[in-house]
Amino acid sequence: MPYTRQRGSAYQIVEQIQRIVDAQHTELFNAMRDDAEVTMRLARDVYCPEDTGTLKTSARVHGQEKRGAITVQISFGDAAAFYAAAVHNRLDLRHTPPTQAMYLQRAVDERARTMPARLARRMNAASRRAAR
């Protein structure tokens, strides 16, 4: 007797589970990247000290999805990475509030506590859409 794709068959259930898993993976990448963008803008626009503006304009979010692994990074400095690190890490330098040393760390710390809930909401919504 040939195998048929009947409604509710094991084949359809496996297909649906795979769609949900794929949707969650894609949504997790997108949600992490979106969250990093918001965090980067907070660091850049609120906490990052500004002298010439070079440091602020160098802010970037890099995201990569490779062999199932997701990596999202926020960076400042580009070619002036040494300068960015110095401004970020020198606690002895004075800045006009709210700008400060540790500008990226401050933004990450501010958003980290609520990040899992934001990611979970996005992934749950993606799962519901994929299950339809």
Q: What is the pLDDT of residue 3?
A: 52
Q: Is 93 helix (H, G, I), strand (E, B) or coil?
A: coil
Average of per-residue pLDDT across 119-130: 85
Residue 118 pLDDT: 92
Q: What is the pLDDT of residues 88-109, one digit of tens each?
A: 999 998 999 999 999 999 999 9
pLDDT in tens, 21-71: 887 888 889 999 999 999 999 999 999 999 888 899 999 999 998 888 899
pTM of the model: 0.82
**What CA–CA distance (Å, rounded) separates 66 from 121?**
24
pLDDT of 17 > 90? The answer is no
- Give the angle 46-63-99 at the CA atoms, nearest 5°: 10
Domain boundaries, the chain: 10-131
